């Protein structure tokens, strides 16, 4: 698991200064596919962070779900499994999660305590799921927004069809085209994420550079191994000790 956290100096909650906490799971943390065994999934989630997880049924679109301050337990339950690809909130009592096995995942946060989690494959990037998430965060009052990326498939492992590649070039320019290890045209998903963040005015604060396809011991990959399991990126607001 990759762990990262940062104190938000501009934001003080009722119990003192708050932190943003981000985790990117590995195969050793278990499977986070939402249709896997519910008991096992619950155990896996609890081991990462023991609080209410909010998760979606991801559909490679640009729909963002806002987890509002006023949502009660029933409202929160009703969000689970919603068809969407991003979550945002100001709440400090939930953990926002997205799952992937090659697609990019991102955690976003603002200095004033708004957080977001995004699942961004090439279709989501094309549909500007990152821009939509940033807009939703701004509607909750976020000003300066930062991001960290989870692991995703690397360009060397992501050979891509000419038609789809043209669609991505039309949006992001030729720099998203790279070469696979075999020397064929490939999509640089990570580069597309960086460009999308830049266009949305988000500051990138680093992230994972691991390739899901190249690291069978650590990460699941749909493209290279047809894995059904998923890793998770989780973000939540915690308190300074
Ligand atoms: Zn690779």
For residue 211, the CA-to-ligand 1 centroid distance in Å is 5
Q: Percent of the chain beyond pLDDT 90?
A: 93
For residue 142, the CA-to-ligand 1 centroid distance in Å is 35
Q: Percent of the chain beyond pLDDT 70?
A: 97
Cα distance between residue 33 and residue 56, in whole Å: 11
Residue 178 near residue 188, CB atoms below 8 Å: yes
pLDDT at residue 129 greater than cutoff 90: yes
In-domain check, residue 39: yes
Q: What is the DSSP string of 10-29?
A: EEEETTEEEEEEEEE--GGG
For residue 100, the CA-to-ligand 1 centroid distance in Å is 15
In-domain check, residue 65: yes
Residue with tokens 């940033």: 134
Q: How confident is the model at residue 15 (pLDDT cuts 50, 70, 90)?
A: low
For residue 181, the CA-to-ligand 1 centroid distance in Å is 8
State residue 235 phi and psi, 5-degree precision: -135, 140
CATH number at residue 16: 3.60.140.10
pLDDT at residue 134 greater than cutoff 90: yes
pLDDT at 17: 76
Residue 205 near residue 147, CB atoms below 8 Å: yes
What is the CB neighbour count within 10 angstroms for residue 152? 27
Residue 31 near residue 95, CB atoms below 8 Å: no
In-domain check, residue 188: no
In-domain check, residue 163: no
In-domain check, residue 230: yes
Closest CA to 149 of 186, 220, 100, 113: 100
187-199: average pLDDT: 98
For residue 31, the CA-to-ligand 1 centroid distance in Å is 21
For residue 206, the CA-to-ligand 1 centroid distance in Å is 19
In-domain check, residue 87: yes
For residue 210, the CA-to-ligand 1 centroid distance in Å is 8
In-domain check, residue 162: no
In-domain check, residue 217: yes
For residue 182, the CA-to-ligand 1 centroid distance in Å is 12
How many residues are recorded in the chain?
A: 241
> What domain count does the chain have?
1
Q: Which domain holds residue 230?
A: 2-153+203-239
Cα distance between residue 224 and residue 227, in whole Å: 8
Model pLDDT for residues 26-62, shown as the tens digit of each residue: 999 999 999 999 999 999 999 999 999 999 999 999 9
For residue 27, the CA-to-ligand 1 centroid distance in Å is 16
State residue 36 phi and psi, 5-degree precision: -80, 175
Radius of gyration of the chain (CA): 17
pLDDT at residue 241 greater than cutoff 60: no
């Amino acid at each position: 698991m990759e762990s990262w956290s940062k104190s938000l100096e501009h934001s003080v909650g009722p119990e003192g200064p708050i932190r943003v906490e981000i985790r990117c799971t590995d195969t050793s943390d278990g499977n986070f596919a939402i249709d896997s065994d519910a008991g096992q999934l619950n155990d896996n989630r609890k081991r990462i962070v023991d609080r209410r997880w909010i998760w979606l049924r991801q559909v490679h679109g640009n729909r963002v779900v806002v987890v509002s301050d006023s949502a009660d337990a029933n409202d929160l339950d009703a969000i689970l499994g919603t068809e969407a690809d991003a979550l945002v909130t100001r709440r400090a009592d939930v953990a926002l999660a997205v799952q992937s096995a090659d697609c990019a995942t991102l955690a976003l946060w603002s200095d004033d305590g708004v957080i977001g989690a995004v699942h961004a494959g090439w279709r989501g990037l094309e549909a500007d799921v990152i821009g939509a998430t940033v807009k939703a965060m701004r509607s909750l009052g976020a000003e300066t927004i930062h991001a960290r990326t989870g692991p995703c498939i690397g360009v060397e492992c992501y050979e891509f069809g000419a038609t789809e590649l043209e669609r991505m070039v039309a949006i992001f320019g030729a720099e998203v085209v790279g070469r696979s290890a075999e020397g064929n045209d490939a999509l640089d998903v990570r580069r597309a994420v960086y460009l999308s963040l830049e266009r949305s005015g988000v500051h990138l604060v680093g992230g994972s550079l691991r390739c899901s396809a190249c690291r069978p011991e650590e990460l699941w990959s749909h493209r290279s191994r047809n894995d059904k399991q998923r890793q998770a990126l989780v973000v939540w607001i915690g308190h300074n000790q």
